[in-house]
Amino acid sequence: MPTLRLVRHKLSKTGLRSPLLWVRHRGFQASDVFTASYPRSGSTWLRFILVELLAGQSSGFKNVNQLSPDVGEHSGAYPLLPEAGRLIKTHELYQDAYKRAIYLSRDPRDVVLSEYAYQNALGVTSKSFDAFLDDFLQNGVNPFGLWIDHVNSWLDAAESKGCQLLVVRFEDMRRETEGSLARMMDFLRVPVEASAIRKAIENNSLEQMKAKEKVTPQRASAKGRFVGSGSVAGWKDRITPAQLQRIDQRAGSAMSRLGYAPAGEAAEALQEVQA
């Protein structure tokens, strides 16, 4: 299994995916809304809460994957949204077929740490973190391209009016979960009581999510675990200054578009305050 998983992982990063993408991106409706994100950005947590609010039932891996399926598995998805719209998950770069979406972003410094731990546990990388970071910034580490290109493709689509986009940062959702979800439900045009939002948050805490995974282990789980720690700014104690400088140089522009301060800017601001 590890060998097969490694082969599939390598093939997924080649041009062989192009025909598959074409097949998967068919049969959408104008009323569909996508939950978009780069991998390891918190989309599973987001979908669990949204499904509970929209479907009025407790979320688990089985019903969430049925009610809010991946792109390519959406043909039989239940219409959770107004005008028979479906809530469809995608990790892909922006595609012209995406007309309305919630884009969940996460600080790339936390994303790369989470992706490295995940791939290491799956056995699809044996590189050092330093080498993995270079791939993350320059070559890509999964089928969905560079984090930089992913962010820019979605934000550019919103600016050109190609996609009606609501951008939500994972960090803001962790800090102000109720308010972030209220904004999303407004975007989805589904009225919901604040008490229902609070209940859905409580039912899908990190501890609850891990318990749900134990009940329904995931095929893509790493050493029996798919749900991560959901850390915010965990990178501050784990990425070296030299590595942070490389991230600033390569990803700083895309980070700034989302309101993430490059490490160099943050350090300069701190020095000014201390002075």
Q: What is the pLDDT of residues 11-55, one digit of tens each?
A: 556 667 788 888 999 999 999 999 999 999 999 999 999 999 999
CATH class of 2-19+28-264: alpha beta
Q: What's the whole-number mean pLDDT along residues 205-216?
A: 77
Which of 227, 44, 70 has the alpha carbon at shortest distance from 143? 70
The reported pLDDT for the residue numbered 228 is 52
The reported pLDDT for the residue numbered 274 is 36
Question: Considering the entire predicted model, what is its pTM?
Answer: 0.87
Number of residues assigned to the chain: 275
Q: What's the whole-number mean pLDDT along residues 89-116?
A: 97
Angstrom distance (rounded) from CA 181 to CA 184: 5
Q: Name the DSSP letter for residue 83.
A: G
Mean predicted lDDT score pLDDT of the chain: 87
SS3 218: coil
The reported pLDDT for the residue numbered 22 is 86
The reported pLDDT for the residue numbered 273 is 35
Q: Of 110-119, 126-135, 212-221, which range is least confident?
A: 212-221
Angstrom distance (rounded) from CA 116 to CA 228: 12
The string of pLDDT tens digits covering residues 50-96 is: 999 999 999 888 899 899 999 999 998 999 999 999 999 999 999 99
Residue 123: which pLDDT band, with cuts at 50, 70 and 90?
A: confident
Task: Break the chain into its structural domains and give their ranges.
Answer: 2-19+28-264
Angstrom distance (rounded) from CA 275 to CA 270: 9
Q: What's the whole-number mean pLDDT along residues 252-271?
A: 76
Which of 154, 150, 177 has the alpha carbon at shortest distance from 232? 177
Based on the number of CB atoms within 10 Å of its own CB, is 196 exposed (0-12), middle (13-18) or buried (19 or more)?
middle
Which of 77, 272, 82 has the alpha carbon at shortest distance from 191? 82
